Amino acid sequence: MRATAVAHPNIALIKYWGKSDIERNIPAVGSLSITLDGLTTTTAVSFNSDLEEDEFLLGGQAIPEMSGRVSRCLDLVRERVGAQTRARVESNNDFPTAAGLASSASGFAALVTAADAAMGVNIPQNELADMARRSSGSAARSLFGGFVELRLTPDGPLPTETRQILEPFDWPLRVAVAVTDAGPKEIGSTEGMVRTERTSPYYAGWVDTSEDYLAEARSAIARRDFEALAEVSESSCLKMHAVMLSARPGLVYWNGATVECIRKVRKLRADGVPVFFTVDAGPQVKAVCAPEAFDRVAAELAAVEGVSQVLASGLGEGARVVAS
């Protein structure tokens, strides 16, 4: 009744922001991401009938504010199997938690994968992805490696369907993550999404344009067209931050160094370096580039004032069991 799984964060190139159903945590828009290999969450789950409650440790410490979400995620696996047994969950990230580096994505992807293996059920990957999605919208994508798309399937057996669209080695891009502030973000994504939907006059436009962006990105990936993927990804990112900024009160996830990194990436691309930026609900800048451009991109970002660290990553595999 024990298993350990690893999962990596993913970063969305075509972003999701907003929920069509807050109770069931169904995203308002589809999304498309790349899974990273340089950052890892490792989670051990052991079900034990002696436990009266689930226990959750992150980095060796109890995190009471997260334990409810962890238990609710385990409940989905327990309900699927018809089990009641409580579990001890020990999770470790080798990167800063909750700073816009998608630790919840890798965290819940590793959790459902380890829980499934510990129960010995072998739930299909797409179903595990949908379970992870209930806990964190972006977590479904970390079940898969390489380039991944989450589609809304309101008429399907599950409300979302997540699938790999390209293996990591089919287009081995690299990612430099410029850390500009490693502290936790001020406003969590669910609260930010609800505020945006309720108050932004641009929210409908954000939702209405998402399918066209997904189609463009899918086509750019099929053609391995870096420039086209760069253009549509930066636009999706800026469109998401525009709708966040237009909420009341406006959501400003960036700091000064975030803006300087964006300007640096744009300057590099104008000079012919194959690189583009993306930024999630936090101040870190992820620069996606061709492998040969990585060293230059990382060095240029490290030189930006306010950047404390540049993390290196390639594209990685989906969540998987490493020990049982």
Q: In the complex, which residues of this chain contact ligand PMV (CB under 6 A)?
A: 12, 15-17, 31, 104-105, 136-138, 189, 280-281
In whole angstroms, the minimum distance from the beta carbon of 217 to ligand PMV comes to 12
Residue 291 gets which letter from DSSP?
G
Tokens of 278: 């993306």
What single string gives the DSSP state of each residue in 122-178? ---HHHHHHHHHHH-GGGGGGGS-SEEEEEE-TTSSSSEEEEEEE-GGGS--EEEEE
Name the amino acid, one letter, at 210.
Answer: S
Beta carbon of residue 1, minimum distance to ligand PMV (angstroms, whole number):
29
Which of residues 46 and 138 has its CB atom nearest to ligand PMV in the complex? 138
Question: What is the closest distance, in whole angstroms, from the C-beta atom of residue 243 to ligand PMV in the complex?
Answer: 11
Q: Contacts by 224-230 with C-beta closer than 8 Å and gap 24+? A: 224/171, 226/274, 226/290, 227/274, 229/13, 229/276, 230/269, 230/274, 230/275, 230/276, 230/288
Residues in the chain: 324
Least CB distance from residue 273 to ligand PMV, whole Å?
Answer: 25
Choice between 160 and 189, CB closer to ligand PMV: 189
Check: CB of residue 281 under 8 Å from CB of residue 261. no
Q: How far is the CB of 120 from ligand PMV (least distance, A)?
A: 28
Question: Cβ closer to ligand PMV: 125 or 162?
Answer: 162
Nearer to ligand PMV by C-beta: 26 or 322? 26
Nearer to ligand PMV, 257 or 281 (CB): 281
